[in-house]
Structure formats: structure tokens, C-alpha cells
Amino acid sequence: MTALLLVMTGCVGAPQSALLLAHFNEHSNADLIEHHREQAAPVLSPRVNLDNVLFFPQEEYQCGPAALATVLNASLVVVSPDDLVSQVYVPERQGSLQIEMLAAPRRYGRISYQLPPSLDAVLREVQAGRPVLVMQNLALTRFPQWHYAVVVGYDLAQQDIILRSGTIRDYRVSLRVFERTWSRAQHWAVVILQPGELPLQASEDGYFQAVSAYENAGASSQAGAAYRAGLERWPDSQLLGMGYGNLAYRDGDRELAITAYSKVLEHHQDYAAAHNNLAQVMFETGDLQGAEAHARNAVRLGGSFAEIYQRTLDRVLAANAAR
């Protein structure tokens, strides 16, 4: 069946592999590599093998718990596939759903970040020492055979990729075949992060969504480190700045909340929500003059939450009148 599958998929293109290998061959001689080191994106190492990543041979239909245990242990979470079965395995489907695979790491204090649909992004994470959880369809689009595996290495000269997969610890398959099976699963790839770590090719919005989901899962005590790391990369981010301020407010740290909202307004002076939130915290800390100024700005700017902004202003004005 495997040979037949390879024949059937042989005519399907693997454009990312072709581009990546062409780029590798173009820059494989020493002079070009030295020249390319000066560029923004460094050349991938010719080969990487994260040989110390643990291997959990899967039980029947339970590649999800085995693959997830692999990446969690690599992120210093000691857990076995058996510990994860009840969290991610759906007996009726004889497999694991992606949403559960993303949710489970949050229960262990880790952030799940879905990578862009890029083979280069996957290999760069591996080069940085971080194994990547991937989903594949090993059969056909109309008759899928879903499978989770973990990318732990690659060899560009040999044109293959190394997986912890099924019952094989170091499963080597060509980059092109891997890309085909991966593309039939919509290029789903995830890295597991400790709070404060950032993926190499993160997007601001994607990172915020990952941290927000982590925080909402009950990990607010560690979410601050994740927000701070994001703000170091995107210091003018409305999303991360407001998220950090809201987290500080919920944790009772009014001074940090004021600092966070003020930082947002340094970059986005016409952001009504930041004015309103800053007004509320200033009101609670007794700075009624500052609270009124920001509340008036929020009302002036208006928007979808104009009624909330007006209520904030009314409370501040009432407090000022009662002084």
C-alpha cells in the first residue's frame, strides 16, 4: 500500500520543497554561504537532528497523545502519552482533534503556537532546537488517514526530513513526500512554548491569540512573561499592550496597568479603549483629573463601546462634583 501511495502522489507537486532545496543548492558553496550570512535571513544549516528528543511508540490510533507527549517533554514537561489520552483522544473518531491538541499544553503551563504554512518555518524552528508537532494525511484527500508526528531533524543534502512517527523513532522521508502529506492536512504545524519564548517567525496577531488562549485557560499568573516577550518584539502592539494592561488590572496591579495603557497611547493616541481603561484605573487610584481627561478623550473618539465610555466619564464627573 505504501508503494502504491507513493506512486499515486508522485505527480503531485511539492513547491515549498523544490524552492527550499533550490535555495540550498544555490548557496551550498562556501563563498555564497559567507555572502548570505550578511543577509537578514540566515541560510538553514545543511542538517539538524535533535537526537535527544524522547520517543513514545504509539498505540493503535493514538499517535496524537504520543506526539504531544514528545513535544511537551521537549519543553520540560514530564508527561506520558497515557496521561494525555483522556485529554485529546476521541474514541468515536479513533483519533485526536486539533483543537484538543492545542488546548492540552495550556493545562501544563505551555503555549501552543500554530506556525505559518511554511516548510521553511518548520525547519527553522527545528534548527533552533525546538521540535515541531505536525499533522499529516497519509492517504488521499477524499479518503484521509490522519496522523500526528514530530519533526526532529532534516538533511538538505539527502533531501529528507526526520520524524518521531508511529513505531519508528527516526523515520526518514523525503521532503517532497512529507510536504505532500502535510499539505493535505492544511500545513498544520505547532510549536510548544514556555511563557517568555517566541517562535522565530511569529506574527503579532497569531502570537496574541496564542497568549490570550493560554491566559483564558487559567494561566494568568505566567501570562505576564508571555506578554512582555511579545511587547519586546512588537513594542507598538495595541493587542499585546492592552492584553498586558488588562492582565495587570485583573491581578490587582493598578500601577502596572496604568503603565501598560499609557504605553499603548504613546503609539496610538486615538485608541479610545486605551483612554477608557486608563481613565478607569486612574479613577480607582484617585487621580480624578487624569481620569477625566482620558475619559473625555474616549467619549470624543467614540466607537462601538461609546456607551461604556460615557458611563466611565459620568462616574468620574460625579466623583469630581462630590469633592
Domain C-terminal end among 152, 167, 193: 193
> Same structural domain for residues 96 and 183?
yes
For 141-164, the pLDDT digits (tens) are 888 899 999 999 999 999 999 999
Confidence class for position 221, pLDDT limits 50, 70, 90: confident
CB 117 within 8 Å of CB 111:
no
Find the CATH number of the domain harbouring 79: 3.90.70.10
pLDDT on residue 41: 57
For 47-72, the pLDDT digits (tens) are 999 999 999 998 776 899 999 999 99
Task: Confirm whether 207 is domain-assigned.
Answer: no
Domain C-terminal end among 160, 193, 226: 193
| Best CA proximity match to 229, nearest among 202, 258, 190, 248 | 202
Task: Confirm whether 204 is domain-assigned.
Answer: no
Confidence class for position 12, pLDDT limits 50, 70, 90: low
Domain C-terminal end among 158, 193, 228: 193
Query: What does the CA dihedral 77, 80, 86, 90 come to, rounded to 10 degrees?
Result: 110
pLDDT on residue 107: 94
> Same structural domain for residues 155 and 282?
no
Tell me 173's DSSP state.
E
Q: Give yes or no for residue 251 having a pLDDT over 60.
A: yes
Report the SS3 class of residue 266: helix
Mean pLDDT, the chain, integer: 90
Task: Confirm whether 215 is domain-assigned.
Answer: no
Q: How many domains does the chain have?
A: 2
Taking 3-state DSSP, the helix, strand and coil percentages for the chain, each rounded to the nearest 5, stand at 55, 15, 30
> Same structural domain for residues 140 and 280?
no
Task: Confirm whether 284 is domain-assigned.
Answer: yes
Task: Confirm whether 189 is domain-assigned.
Answer: yes
* Euclidean distance between CA atoms 162 and 164, whole angstroms: 7
> Same structural domain for residues 75 and 162?
yes
> Same structural domain for residues 57 and 182?
yes
Task: Confirm whether 206 is domain-assigned.
Answer: no
pLDDT on residue 61: 67
> Same structural domain for residues 146 and 279?
no
DSSP letters for 201-264? T--HHHHHHHHHHHHHTT-HHHHHHHHHHHHHH-TT-HHHHHHHHHHHHHTT-HHHHHHHHHHH
> Same structural domain for residues 187 and 281?
no
Q: Give yes or no for residue 23 having a pLDDT over 70.
A: yes
Q: Note down the domain range covering 104.
A: 2-193
* Locus of grid cell 495587570: 248
> Same structural domain for residues 165 and 288?
no
Task: Confirm whether 31 is domain-assigned.
Answer: yes
Task: Confirm whether 27 is domain-assigned.
Answer: yes
Q: Give yes or no for residue 32 having a pLDDT over 60.
A: no
